[in-house]
Structure 1
Amino acid sequence: MKISTRDLQARVAALGFSPGPIDGLWGPRTQQAQRAAMAARKVGSVAELFHCSGLHRIHLHWTAGASGVIELERQHYHLLIGQDARAYAGALKPEANADCTDGVYAAHTRAMNTGAIGVALDAMAGALETPFHPGPYPVTPEQVALLADEVADLCLTYDIPVTPFSVLTHAEVQPTLGVWQRRKWDITWLPGMKAPGKPREVGDSLRARISSALEARAA
């Protein structure tokens, strides 16, 4: 498993240990957080901090698509939630993104695909950020509900904590992980909102729903 410093920083942060800024730079705070995480998990190697699949994050998107999941969308995401409130598998399994050096992976997040599962709401074709208009295919409440359930299952399967460092929207990737994303604004709007909100606040709202879905499974 190839683990970058940035991915290690995000993982230990997701496990509750602060490495300082997620900047890809190795330093004493990152080293201390790594050691603390390894001690807490009682593991003897950095690799053991991660799921054996090599997957450790989930990135949430919308496709900017219309009604009906198309093949091009399936190539870019591992799971899609259609306007019909049904889940559709992508062309590749999430494990394809454990190692992207072979070129066979779902390219859903610029320069941050390795180890990351891409999940997308098929919606928002024709939407405008400013002045805001959701277009003729807005995200629906039913899509959000199913997204929460499906992501909860992925979190259980791949040992991914529901935190801003491990389950985050595309709009959160740049401010959280420090990698430029060409001003992506998915997902900053949800049903019931009058206009797009701050990435972290909208991400927190989605994470709350995912956490509730996980709690329901444990009940």
Structure 2
Amino acid sequence: MLSELVRIIEGNIRMRSKFDEQLLELNHKMIEMGNNIISSIQKAIEALVARDIDQAKLIMDGDAEIDHLQKVIESICFNLLIQQQPVARDLRTVTAAMKMVTDMERIGDHAADISEMTILMGQNSQIDKFNHISEMASETMIMLNHSIEAYVEKDVVKAREVIEYDDIVDELFVKAKKDVIQLILNNPEEGEEAADILMIAKYFERIGDHATNIAEWVIYSLKQKENEDEV
């Protein structure tokens, strides 16, 4: 009877050890994907400002790697959920990762979207005349960097700062829309490019929204730890 109990305990320990290994792999893949989307957005901004068509094409091609990482992470999450009943903290971690990876993939899509607009507008683009869009690019990069850092560092305070920061990007988007409207009024013949520029502003605004979502899921995943610390 005792030997059977020992066998069960040892089996549970082995299962937990494997579970912890997969949790560590999940964390590594999430960090890898986070670094990839940060790099993609940064390069998309550089291509946009420099009107670098070749660079923009490379960014669009690179979106497939981000999509692949999403599938890998989702597979790890499903395996973790079906192997054994996760404790509350583990369940929060896996659930948050599954939600976060969707927002991360969409950020990668927006890097490709911005690059596509860069190609469509060509080297004669007047994007550099729109200061509020360049500000949006800078501010969304801050949000994105901090949301990923909040996940890596398990930093609730930094995650909450990202959420508060979203108001800045939203205000800049309103100003960017006014800039575009003014361009159309002053130069109706440039209406098509104005529409393209407005789309770019909208992509940056959406990136800010996705960074906010990531930060909210970071807070969710750490909620159990917060409660334990308060006890």
TM-score range, shorter chain: under 0.3
Higher RCO (CA < 8 A, seq sep 6+): 2
Larger Rg, first or second structure (1 or 2): 2
Richer in strand (by share): 1
TM-score normalized with structure 1 length: 0.28
Richer in helix (by share): 2
